[in-house]
Amino acid sequence: MAKLTVSDLDLKGKKVLMRVDFNVPIKDGVIGNDNRIVAALPTIKYVSEHGGKAILLSHLGRIKKEEDKPGLSMRPVAERLSNLLNKPVTFVPTTEGKQLEDAIDGLNDGDVLVMENTRYEDVKNGENVKRESGNDPELGKYWASLGDVFVNDAFGTAHRSHASNVGIASNMGQTAAGFLMEKEIKFIGGAVDNPEHPFVAILGGAKVSDKIGVIDNLLAKADKILIGGGMTYTFYAAKGMKIGNSLVEKDKIDLAKEILDKAGDKLVLPTDSVVAEKFDNDAAHKTVDGDIPDGYMALDIGPKSIAEFEDVLKSAKTVVWNGPMGVFEMSNYAEGTLEIGKFLGTLTEAKTIVGGGDSTAAVQQLGVADKLSHISTGGGASLEYLEGKTLPGIAAISDK
């Protein structure tokens, strides 16, 4: 069933609690990259322009002891938000109590308030009480009491049951998705639950063990699964091929055999690889067919595999990509990831979806992101979504 979204709500004069993902890289109070703040702007602006009083909550980093707090204050984030919105933003340096409640009471329609890092609640009086990340029922109830409606736009934490997402939602009459969350549900949820066929999944990255859940879930739904990246060579080993010094998970070879048996010709492995003498961009390297020679490790898929993958992809209507095709961080082994990314950009009739932390970094770094339909904002959350798991943060959003 479709989920309630922020555009379904009557916001005028309402105190709108909003869970956003402001978990930006920060060092000595300086924000490294404000992509996540920028990504949250459409929903914040919408609420403000429709007369809501926006009360923003987010976590920032991990807080395990009192000393972690000063460096992870939300104050610089509130300042950056104010610059980006080009209007004043109230920052409240606490997560509960009179100061916060008074500040909320003082808001006018359209105002924006940011409260302190929700994970400050994880440590109280020096004790690691995990009220936020352990979803303390009293905390969710208290935060819910501060607003009239709840908007959850933080997909990146949707796979966690925390007080600031699930806790608030379970004490609220209505929880709506923000625009970012709505897009994640539409694209990733849509691909997993109701894909347009042919549906092709491209799975790569380092390890089979990280992706077992995704392979299992997508085997039942996809028409083809293209395998690349480091996990390829555990499958090679399972087929009795030579793998040289390539990445391999010996304890997963039997599992890889089972997957190969079950998948039949649905699973497509690379037929050639770029191999190097060392895990080093400057190492001697070459392209080989099939077996990986002794003394070499495979670090990218080869040109023949790229062409074969493109041949499968060209008729696809839905493509989900998780995990790079090679060690894209090194330019000599980035070709596979780059070419597949560029090719996806030409598939204008298909929904092309990228999920996963490194995969997202790869398409952004290689400059192919803006040609794709959807780049997920959540690494861990997108993986669990692709595994077919119910994400508690999404489950807690009201149905339309």
Q: Footprint of ligand ADP on this chain (CB under 6 A)?
A: 205-206, 210, 229-230, 247, 298-299, 322-324, 326-327, 329, 356-359, 379
Least distance to ligand ADP from the beta carbon of 42, Å?
25
Assess 184 for contact with Mg ion (CB under 5 A).
no
**Residue 210 binding partner per list ligand ADP, Mg ion, none, with a CB distance cut-off of 5 to 8 Å that depends on partner kind:** ligand ADP
Q: How far is CA 22 from CA 48, 189, 274, 315, in A?
A: 18, 23, 39, 38
Candidate list 207, 257, 304, 317, residue with the active-site label: 207
The values of phi and psi at residue 303, to 5°, are -65, -35
Total number of residues binding Mg ion (CB under 5 A)?
2
Least distance to ligand ADP from the beta carbon of 203, Å?
9
Beta strands in the chain (DSSP E): 15-19, 26-27, 30-31, 53-57, 90-92, 112-115, 123-124, 127-128, 149-152, 175-177, 199-203, 224-227, 267-268, 272-276, 285-289, 297-301, 318-322, 351-354, 374-375
Assess 358 for contact with Mg ion (CB under 5 A).
yes
Measured CA to CA, the distance from residue 112 to residue 242 in angstroms comes to 60
Instruction: Give me the residue whose beta carbon is nearest to Mg ion.
Output: 358
CB of 148 within 8 A of CB of 16? yes
Least distance to ligand ADP from the beta carbon of 349, Å?
25
Stretch that binds Mg ion, among 7-15, 96-104, 261-269, 356-364 (CB under 5 A): 356-364
**Residue 230 binding partner per list Mg ion, ligand ADP, none, with a CB distance cut-off of 5 to 8 Å that depends on partner kind:** ligand ADP
Q: Catalytic annotation on 80?
A: no
Least distance to ligand ADP from the beta carbon of 299, Å?
5
Q: What does 120-153 look like in DSSP terms, one character per residue?
A: GGGEETTEE--TTTTT-HHHHHHHHHT-SEEEE-
Of 110 and 357, the one with the shorter C-beta distance to ligand ADP is: 357
232: tokens are 């390829």
Least distance to ligand ADP from the beta carbon of 358, Å?
3
Stretch that binds Mg ion, among 27-35, 240-248, 289-297, 350-358 (CB under 5 A): 350-358
CB of 43 within 8 A of CB of 37? no
Of 133 and 273, the one with the shorter C-beta distance to ligand ADP is: 273
**Residue 157 binding partner per list ligand ADP, Mg ion, none, with a CB distance cut-off of 5 to 8 Å that depends on partner kind:** none
Least distance to Mg ion from the beta carbon of 81, Å?
28
Q: Catalytic annotation on 342?
A: no
- Count of all residues that appear for the chain in the document: 400
Measured CA to CA, the distance from residue 347 to residue 326 in angstroms comes to 22
Candidate list 19, 36, 53, 224, residue with the active-site label: 36
Candidate list 51, 134, 190, 357, residue with the active-site label: 357
- For tokens 């979204």, what's the residue? 5
Stretch that binds Mg ion, among 21-29, 85-93, 246-254, 352-360 (CB under 5 A): 352-360
Q: What does 311-355 look like in DSSP terms, one character per residue?
A: HHHTT-SEEEEES-SS-TTSGGG-HHHHHHHHHHHH-TTSEEEE-
Annotated catalytic residues are: 36, 207, 357, 380
